[in-house]
Amino acid sequence: MSLLNVRLGPEEERMAAALRSAGVAISGVVREALRAEYERRVGSKRKLKGSAIVAAVLESLPDPPGLPSRPFSVADRRAVRRHVRARLGRRAK
């Protein structure tokens, strides 16, 4: 296992001291931050499919209440494509 030295600014040093005094192991905080950042930048790129990303986006951004329902499913890319093409075709005429 390797040792990692990190320079902390005065504010980070105060935060680390406060965490240590509260009984938090700083090494655990650093390990968790490294894992999370790795998954965000490197690990998740290989694991997520486009459909999973779209599902997550649709789940995180629900339609506002009272909005009329669409005549197609936003999760069905072919239906969305047909709808967009039809709308663009009407404008061009």
Residue extents of the structural domains in the chain: 7-47, 49-63+70-93
pLDDT in tens, 31-81: 999 998 888 888 765 666 777 787 888 888 888 889 888 888 888 889 999
Distance between CA 17 and CA 12 in Å, rounded?
9
String of DSSP letters for the chain: ---------HHHHHHHHHHHHTT--HHHHHHHHHHHHHIIIIIHHHH--HHHHHHHHHHHSPPPTTPPPPSS-TT-HHHHHHHHHHHHHHHH-
- The whole-number pLDDT of residue 4 equals 87
Rounded to two decimals, the pTM is 0.46
